[in-house]
Amino acid sequence: MHKLLDISSIKEHLFDGMTIMVGGFMCVGTPEVLIEAIMQSNVQDLTIICNDAGFENRGVGKLIKNNQVSHLIASHIGLNPYAGKQMSAEHMTVTLVPQGTLAEQIRAQGHGLGGILTPTGVGTIVEENKEVLKVNNKRYLLETALHADLAIIEAYQTDQYGNVIYTKTTRNFNPIMAMAADKTIAFSREMVDTLDPECIITPHIFIDYVVKAGL
Amino acid sequence: MDRQEMKTFIAKRVAKELTNGDVVNLGIGLPTLVANYIPDAMTIYLQSENGLIGLGPKPESTNSDPDISNAGGEPVTLKPGGMYFDSALSFGIIRGGHVDVTVLGSLQVDETGSLANWIIPGKMVPGMGGAMDLVTGAKKVIIAMTHTNKGKPKILKKCTLPLTAKYQVDMVITEMGVMTVDNTGIHLVEYNPEFSLEQIQAATDATLLINNPKKMVVN
């Protein structure tokens, strides 16, 4: 399969100052193997877009602990006290975003939209410095699309074309991130010859590279 | 009541607010306990914002699957008929008004139905997670919490912490009573007879509107 990528070659797709989307929700569905490869590359000054800050020793928490992250865009950092300390010490900027808004900002990018209008956050500090639009007499915040240079996602099964299915709640942000980045690398737990076309969640056109488990 | 008894009491009373067929999202902590008191004869579809409907009980520790978790990251099970979806669809369900009831804890609630439960500046900054979307989108917002924080009122005239949302709370259930919020203010509609109405008002900063409240009954 032409999309197969050796884990040692990931560094060719990394550069200082880049923005990376990382799939997973509290590390469920996070491609830990790819995170470790980013740690080994030691790229710096990363902007990470992820639902949460993971744990100190799991998920994007490992990149934060390794001081590779200068900006984190997430909905929640409460399970990673180190992330909180880094934020307080101003070693890392944290932008907290309501989870549904984060999902829609990512989806908007993949779907070619400039942003979305959401009632979430109206009348709160989330509204600060944002455009408020009135539609049919209801107030909405304009939340702009989020783009990344690279998305890393975790697949359950991938076929020879790069079509992807997920398993259970590991799906979460993975399918929308796969569409929102210039390049997407999927870590796949299993490779199969074919998948049922009716059941494919992420079409292969969104997957640039596949890293196989156990290689 | 000790703290654990209070939580059980509150969770049991919240369960009585649910109607057969409801799609319900339960927050982390006290609200999660509500699932234990849903009557067997009632079908409730529990939604979890990380991407599922049909949340079942915790698995036996020997049979735990790390690929199925709830929004608190804890292992759970999926009931028959349940399904998984991505985060955009999950919040489409939430923001789109397809969740009948959301139950959350809170640090503060006020008499206009505004609430604050995601940040204590300078002290605790965990983030809002899905809370802002849930209270904005769900048809009914129930706050389940202890009435005070070590004696300090949590039901206020006006929230002092940064808000999670304005004017979204429909009901507040505590160990002292059941309150509803509308555009006239906050009404004490049920009270726990272990407390006098004076004691309940004294533990509340907001002015409770009291008009023949019923006794709070929890089995």
Shortest CA gap B138–chain A (Å):
11
pLDDT category at A215 given cuts 50, 70, 90 is low
Structure tokens given for B115: 């609430």
A15-96+147-212 architecture in CATH? 3-Layer(aba) Sandwich (3.40)
Instruction: Return the axis-axis angle of helices B87-95 and A99-110, rounded to nearest 10°.
Output: 120
Give tens-digit pLDDT for B90-138.
Answer: 999 999 999 999 999 999 999 999 999 999 998 888 999 999 999 999 9
CA distance A59 to A10: 17
Q: Which sequence spans correspond to the domains of chain B?
A: 3-215
Looking at residue B179, its pLDDT comes to 98
Give tens-digit pLDDT for A49-86.
Answer: 999 999 999 999 999 999 999 999 999 999 999 999 99
State the DSSP string of A111-179: TT-SEEEESTTTTSGGGTTS-EEEETTEEEEEEE---EEEEEEEEEEE-TT--EE--GGG-TTHHHHHH
C-alpha dist (Å) from residue A57 to A54, A61, A79, A88, A146: 8, 6, 11, 19, 26
Is A172's Cβ below 8 Å from some Cβ in B? Answer: yes
pLDDT category at A5 given cuts 50, 70, 90 is very high
Is A170's Cβ below 8 Å from some Cβ in B? Answer: yes
CA distance B169 to B178: 13
Residues of chain B with pLDDT below 50 are none
Looking at residue B112, its pLDDT comes to 98
SS3 B161: coil
* Residue burial B32-41, b: 16+ Cβ < 10 Å; e: rest: bbbbebbeee
Structure tokens given for A207: 């997957």
Give tens-digit pLDDT for A65-75.
Answer: 999 999 999 99
Closest Cα in chain B to A156: B67
Please answer whether residues B165 and B132 qualify as being in contact, where contact means their C-beta atoms are separated by less than 8 angstroms: yes
Structure tokens given for A103: 């999902």
Question: Would the CB atoms of B127 and A107 count as touching at under 8 Å?
Answer: no
Please answer whether residues B125 and B115 qualify as being in contact, where contact means their C-beta atoms are separated by less than 8 angstroms: no
Whether B17 is a known active-site residue: answer no
Closest Cα in chain B to A77: B126
Find the catalytic residue in B49, B111, B175, B190. Answer: B49
Give tens-digit pLDDT for A88-126.
Answer: 999 999 999 999 999 999 999 999 999 999 999 999 999
- Cβ neighbours of residue B97 under 8 Å, at least 6 residues apart? B137, B138, B139
Question: Would the CB atoms of B67 and A125 count as touching at under 8 Å?
Answer: no
Q: What is the mean pLDDT of residues A192-205?
A: 98
Q: How many CB pairs under 8 A join A and B?
A: 140
Burial class (CB in 10 A: 0-12, 13-18, 19+), A153: buried
For B3-215, CATH number out of 3.50.30.20, 3.30.2130.10, 3.10.310.10, 3.40.1080.10 equals 3.40.1080.10
Which amino acid appears at position A173 of this protein?
A: F
Q: What is the mean pLDDT of residues A9-30?
A: 98
Looking at residue A1, its pLDDT comes to 79
Residues of chain A with CATH 3.40.1080.10: 15-96+147-212
